[in-house]
Amino acid sequence: MIPTDVRQLADQRARARAEKDYAASDALRVQLAALGWGAKDTADGQVLSPLPPYPVLPSLKDLPDNSGQPDARRCTVALLVEGWPDDLRTCVEGLLAHAPDDVVVVLLENGDTDAGAVVHELAGHPRVEELHIERAAGWADARNALVRADTAAVHVLMDLSTVLEGDGIGPLLAALDTAAVAAAGWRGVHVEDGWTSFADSPPGEVEALLSYLIAVRRSAAVQVPLPPKARFYRNADMEWSFLLREAKVGRLVAVDLPVRQDRHRGYHDSDPEFRDRESKRTYDRFLQRFRGREDLRLR
């Protein structure tokens, strides 16, 4: 049931929008929010719904930019949440059980998903922080915004399909104790067959890391952000890795970790046509920039 005072304000707002008085419309939206209600404009008109019990920012632009700030903590693990609340819970529980005690977990709900309540619940833990944005952003844009908002020396990109079965963060941090290393991850790959494909690499220095689980120096990630046009994770990881290598910010190393991978939603639950199209676009862009750059290969 919508309270009478809320309905009256909503009717006033609808009239203001019809009269193109957007300043009044925005002011009435603020009044509605103060009463705990959100107003969304759709093709069928204004829709009212109760606001969640946590702040929701309009977009990525409203996240803080701390990229110029000094390191304030050791490590942040950043999880991009686009649904799949059960996967989220399993991933975070593994982190809290096994990651070092000084590791902070940041959850970004990317748009209005079915996982917002679980994000908020998990943020009741002292080592978990929550962020929510109303307007969903692309994978690379959201990841870059998380890096800019971070204040840790090491920023960890982790997919919800990655589940720690032991300490999978401590060894990555240990690998980054070597100044020559810019990023360390769970799975590494190398290009082969004339740059037309890539294959898994053993632990050690690698040509590229996959973002199932990557720890990167925040300074390097700020200097060399994820390519904004990258929309599909695996080929985008290749492109970013070679951008890091080209910038000479440090070596990339793969580390054997006590980690398992559950169902990867980004692959298995994407529209196949979209997945294939965006994967091809990203890899074509990677080839155009890096094919033949043998100076970036490992000998």
> What string of DSSP letters covers the chain?
---HHHHHHHHHHHHHHHTT-HHHHHHHHHHHHHTTEEEEEETTEEEEEEPPSS--BSSGGGS---TTSPP-EEEEEEEEESS-HHHHHHHHHHHHHHS-TTEEEEEEEESS-TTHHHHHHHTTSTTEEEEEESS---HHHHHHHHHHH--EEEEEEE-TTEEESS-SSHHHHHHTTSTTEEEEES-EEEEETTTTEEEEE-SEE-SEE-TTEEEEEHHHHHHSPPPTT--SHHHHHHHHHHHHHHTT--EEEE---SEEE---HHHHTS-HHHHHHHHHHHHHHHHHHHTT-GGGS--
- CB 212 within 8 Å of CB 162: yes
> What pLDDT, in 10s, does the model give residues 43-84?
888 999 898 989 999 899 999 999 999 999 999 999 999 999
Task: Grade residue 196 by pLDDT with cuts at 50, 70 and 90.
Answer: confident
> What pLDDT, in 10s, does the model give residues 131-170?
999 999 999 999 999 999 999 999 999 999 999 999 999 9
Q: Is the pTM of this model over 0.75?
A: yes
pLDDT above 90 for 230 = no
Predicted local distance difference test score (pLDDT) of residue 173: 98
Which residues contact residue 4 at a Cβ distance below 8 angstroms, ignoring those fewer than 6 apart? none
- CB 173 within 8 Å of CB 215: yes
pLDDT above 90 for 299 = no
Report the 10 Å Cβ neighbour count for 5: 12
Task: Grade residue 42 by pLDDT with cuts at 50, 70 and 90.
Answer: confident
> What pLDDT, in 10s, does the model give residues 92-123?
999 999 999 999 999 999 998 999 999 999 99
CA distance 143 to 108: 9
Segment 207-230 shows an average pLDDT of 94
Percent of the chain surpassing pLDDT 90 = 80
CA distances (Å), 63 to each of 146, 183, 216, 219, 223, in order? 8, 24, 20, 18, 19
Please give the residue that has the higher pLDDT: either 124 or 230.
124
